[in-house]
Amino acid sequence: MALLSDTHLDPTVDGASAMPDVSAMSDVSGMSEAELVDAIRALEDTKARACAVQARLTRVLDARVRARHADQGVPAARRGRDVPGLVAYARRESPARGSRLLGFAHALTELPSTEAALAAGVVSEWRAILIARETACLAPGHRARVDAELCAPDNQGAYRFEGWGDRRLVAQTRALVAGLDPAAVVDRRAKAEADRHVSLRPAPDTMARLSVLLPAAQGVAAYATLTRAADSARAQGDPRSRGQVMTDTLVTLITGQATAEGVPVTVNLTVSDHTLLAGGHQPAWLTGYGPILADHARDLAATALAQAQTAQMAQMALRRLYVAPETGTLVAMESKARAFPKALGLFLDLRDQTCRTPWCNAPVRHHDHITDHADGGPTSAINGQGLCEQCNHTKQAPGWRATPITGPPANTDTQHTVETTLPTGHVIRSTAPRAPTPSRVAPRIQRELHYPDFVIEYAAA
């Protein structure tokens, strides 16, 4: 580790104790309980000190990349755009997380006591991030005062925050911020209101968490509305639980439907023919959520069919996708257009499922030419990939190169794979996930599933 032997990067500087020898802890059978506790604490301190070193390295990396971009004539507003991607690669995190870690690294330059506490191993990276987040609205001078009040040790070397939980640390930081600059707190509240948004993430047992970040008064009003609806329904003898009524009411109010199940929104379900038609057990993939059990996939299809038959929806259709039966690889489509046509874009969404950048699970927002269209890259499935907005912008920075190296239609025996070379020379590969693999279906089963307004299109690979 020659890099860490340099004095300016040595984690033992600034009074921090030396890192413990982790290899010496491989055999813990002879340790007492007290020694085990001490070893766990020592490793926790080591993680914090390592995070302090990572923050310093991140700042140096950002400065180097920006200097290179300046030499290459990159406009000032676009310099360093890909640094979050480099940090994310190094820390095995998503680019969005890399962006936050880059911001945190720079924030520590205005929080010297917090950085010193991190380097000493007495505050964790997460708690240092909390301090940086809560003081972000302050001018540098005021920020430094809060930093010293919270994280500078006293004459005996004790830290004020010792023993505090996350909630108390945030509360004390907010109190200090409000006392120094109330106007900054008001401005932060206005910015927070501008950042209101809705997000969706999977939950266990084929459930999902729909989260809404909104102003407190609006949140209270929305919750009170759902509560009143639940109380009214329960008083009239509704057998559903209070939570069930609130959830169903939320869905019906948002979608405008009479029931929570009758939602006329396209939901893409990728499922093998054997699972759907012949009782197979291969899991399906629900776009925007993830894998679901075969029984649940069949239930969703049956519900959609019932809605179609009762004219709750104008038409139902099962979209046909060509899949290599041995590998579960979706077969490609081509286009001569500059932009990806709607059908080809949907194909990329279903094949890639989420952003193709390693460690990034963000929803697909952009359909990207792996080899740029300006460089002769075709608009095709093999030269296309689904990326989130940030990853697509990162890929456009100088020095980033990407190329498809395998996959259909040239090779249906392997999954679609993209090789990306970073400006540093590091190479990362991204492989599309397997799709549910179909098997051939008997003609008798096909005939039984032709219903009015519900068409199953099937083609063997």
- pLDDT, one tens digit per residue, over 296-315 is 777 777 776 666 556 544 44
Report residue 309: phi and psi, to 5°.
-70, -25
Stretch 47-65: mean pLDDT: 97
pLDDT of residue 342: 82
Write out the two tokens for 346: 């949907």
User: What is the structure's pLDDT at 280?
Assistant: 76
> Which residue is associated with the tokens 């008064």?
217
Beta bridge partners of 213: 197
Q: Which has the minimum average pLDDT: 14-28, 336-350, 393-407?
A: 14-28
SS3 299: helix
Q: What is the pLDDT of residue 8?
A: 44
Cis peptide before 215 (omega within 30 of 0): no
β-pairing verdict for 379-380 and 334-335:
antiparallel
CB count in 10 Å sphere of residue 306: 13
Q: Which residue would you say has higher pLDDT here, 439 or 187? A: 187
CA distance 195 to 204: 28
Q: Which pLDDT score, from 0 to 100, does residue 406 have?
A: 74
CB–CB of 338/379 below 8 Å?
A: yes
- Measured distance CA(151)–CA(102) in Å, rounded: 21
Average pLDDT over residues 204-210: 82
Residue 79 CA neighbour count, 13 Å, CB half: 16
What pLDDT sits at residue 320? 53
Average pLDDT, the chain: 80
Q: What are the φ and ψ backbone dihedral angles of 319, each rounded to 5 degrees?
A: -70, 140
Lowest average pLDDT, out of 174-178, 187-191, 215-219, 412-416, goes to 412-416
Beta bridge partners of 211: 199
Taken in order 64, 147, 169, 176, the sign of the CA dihedral is: negative
pLDDT bracket for residue 460 (50, 70, 90): very low
Report the C-alpha gap between 449 and 224 in whole angstroms.
45
Report the distance separating Cα 119 and Cα 72, nearest Å: 35
pLDDT at 285: 74
* First vs last C-alpha separation in the chain: 52
The DSSP call for residue 455 is E
Least confident among 386-390, 394-398, 453-457: 453-457
Q: Is the pLDDT of residue 458 over 80?
A: no
* Tens digits of residue pLDDT in 39-50: 999 999 999 999
Please name every residue paired with 323 in a beta bridge, in sequence order, or none if there are none: 330
User: Is residue 407 within 8 Å of residue 417, measured between CB atoms?
Assistant: yes
pLDDT-above-70 percentage for the chain: 76
pLDDT value at residue 275: 72
Question: For residues 44 and 51, what is the distance between their CA atoms, to the nearest angstrom?
Answer: 11
Output the CA–CA distances (angstroms, integers) from residue 339 to 245, 345, 380, 419, in the order listed. Answer: 44, 9, 10, 22
pLDDT attached to residue 438: 53
Residue 24 to residues 37, 47, 68, 296, Cα–Cα distance (Å): 15, 17, 42, 50
Residue 315: exposure state from Cβ atoms within 10 A (0-12, 13-18, ≥19): exposed
The percentage of residues in the chain with a pLDDT greater than 90, rounded to a whole number, is 42
Total number of residues shown for the chain: 461
